[in-house]
Amino acid sequence: MKRLAVLALSIAGCIDGAHGRPVSEPEFYAKNVKAYGETAAGLPPETVYAWQLRVTGDEARYFECTAVDVCTKIERSRTAKDLLGVKAVGKADVDGENVEVVELSLEPRPTYIVPTFKPVPAK
């Protein structure tokens, strides 16, 4: 019974971080190795549209835009060191207020997961 439980955990014991669904351990590690390789090679900067960018201390806060002319009141934040560049790209209307939209170039986030557990050795 103990071996069956260990086998079940090793087959379905990992969660895909990007999708939050269970995956087999070999699939999890294969995707993780691929993502680590891409990150180590240097991912392209993440590009987002935003309005009302504020950088205070080591934090950059901004409101999200889904397109150059479609903005929301959803506030996001990243560390200031992640902010690589800012470029004005247009204007948008947010609840009757005309706002300036900027394109932010941000440091890409790593797509790999650093495992914090040791696999149980097979007996």
In terms of residue numbers, what domain contains 37?
A: 2-41
d(CA 61, CA 91): 19
Q: Which pLDDT belongs to residue 99?
A: 94
Question: Which amino acid does the sequence have at 2?
Answer: K
Residue 72 maps to a domain: yes
Please state the length of the chain. 123
* 14 plus 33 within the same structural domain: yes
pTM: 0.58
- Are 94 and 73 in contact by the 8 Å Cβ rule? The answer is yes
Model confidence pLDDT, tens digit, residues 7-48: 444 444 455 555 566 767 778 777 777 777 776 666 667 899
* 53 plus 101 within the same structural domain: yes
Residue 117 maps to a domain: no
* 28 plus 68 within the same structural domain: no
- Residue indicated by tokens 């948008």: 92
Nearest to 39 by CA among 112, 105, 107: 112
Q: Which pLDDT belongs to residue 21?
A: 65
Nearest to 76 by CA among 100, 49, 98: 49
* 32 plus 16 within the same structural domain: yes
* 28 plus 50 within the same structural domain: no
Residue 6 pLDDT greater than 50, yes or no: no
